Structure 1
Amino acid sequence: MTLVRSQKIMQSARGKPCTLRLVGICNFNPETTVAAHIGVRRGMGIKAGDNMVVYACSDCHAEIDRRGREAYAADKLRAMEETQESMIEQGLLAFS
C-alpha cells in the first residue's frame, strides 16, 4: 500500500484554527497549528499517510502524542471531517 505524502497538505495547517479543540487543553492559537497524523493502523514510528491528518495546535498535538492512538477518538473523527472539508476547499483533496 502506498502512503500519501504531500508537502502541500502538511503546510496547509499554517495559520489555520485548531480543528481538534480538546476541552481544557487547546490553546486556540493558529500560529502553533500543524498537520498532526492520527492514523491508528500504523506501528510505532510509522506515520499514517498525509491524508490522515487534523489541524492541531501545539497543545492538542502534544496531548494526542502523549495519550496514544485510541484516546480522543470522537474528537479526532470530528476534527478529521473539519480538516478534510478545509483541504477540499483549498483544492488539496479531490474526489471524483
Structure 2
Amino acid sequence: MRVTSKKLRASANGQDCAVRMPGICNFDPATTVLAHLPCGQKGMGMKGFDTVAVYACSACHDVIDGRAAGEVDWPDMLRAIAETHEALIRAGVLTVKGAA
C-alpha cells in the first residue's frame, strides 16, 4: 500500500522549514514543500510515502534529493520528521486513532 495525500503535500505551503541545514537553509516559508526522505520506497521517478517526509525549504530539499551539494545530518532528520508530524497533527491533517 502506497501512502499519498494531496492534503499532506499541500499542508507544507507557507510552513517553516523543519530541516534547517546550517549554511544551506533559506528559511523562506514560501519555498517549503513536503520533501520525501529515502526509505526504500524511493527511486528514479518514485517518491517515498507521504508520511516519511518533512517540511523543507527549496534549498534543504535540493540537498536531500541530491540536486545540490551539502551534507544531510540523517540522525537530525528524526527531529525534522517529529516536528513535521506534530504540525500535521495540530492542523488536523494527520490523525492517530485512539490518541488522546
Instruction: State the TM-score, normalized to the length of structure 1.
Output: 0.88
1:42 aligns to what?
41
Q: CA deviation at 1:43?
A: 4.4
Cα–Cα, structure 1 residues 50 and 43, in superposed 2: closer, same or farther, change >3 Å?
Answer: closer
> Matched residues in 2 for 1:91 and 1:39: separation?
25
What residue number does 2:22 align with?
23
Question: What is the count of residue pairs matched by the alignment?
Answer: 92
| CA RMSD, Structure 1 to Structure 2 (Å) | 1.3
For 1:85, the aligned partner's letter is E
Gaps of 5+ in 2: none
Task: Please list every run of 5 or more consecutive structure 1 residues that lacks an aligned counterpart in the other structure.
Answer: none
The change in CA–CA distance for 1:65 and 1:41 in structure 2 (over 3 A counts) is same
> 1:94 maps to which residue?
95
Of Structure 1 and Structure 2, the greater helix share is in 1
Contact conserved, 1:25 with 1:60, CA < 8 A, in 2? yes
Identity of aligned residues (%): 43
Q: Compared with structure 1, are the counterparts of its residues 12 and 43 closer, same or farther at alpha carbon in structure 2 (3 Å cutoff)?
A: closer
Q: Specify the code of the residue in structure 1 equivalent to 2:82.
A: E
Query: What is the aligned partner in structure 2 of residue 10 from structure 1?
Result: 9
State the shift of 1:92 in Å. Answer: 1.2
Asked if the contact 1:64/1:72 (under 8 Å) is kept, the reply is: no
Considering only CA atoms, is the larger Rg found in Structure 1 or Structure 2? 2
Runs of 4+ that moved beyond 3 A: none
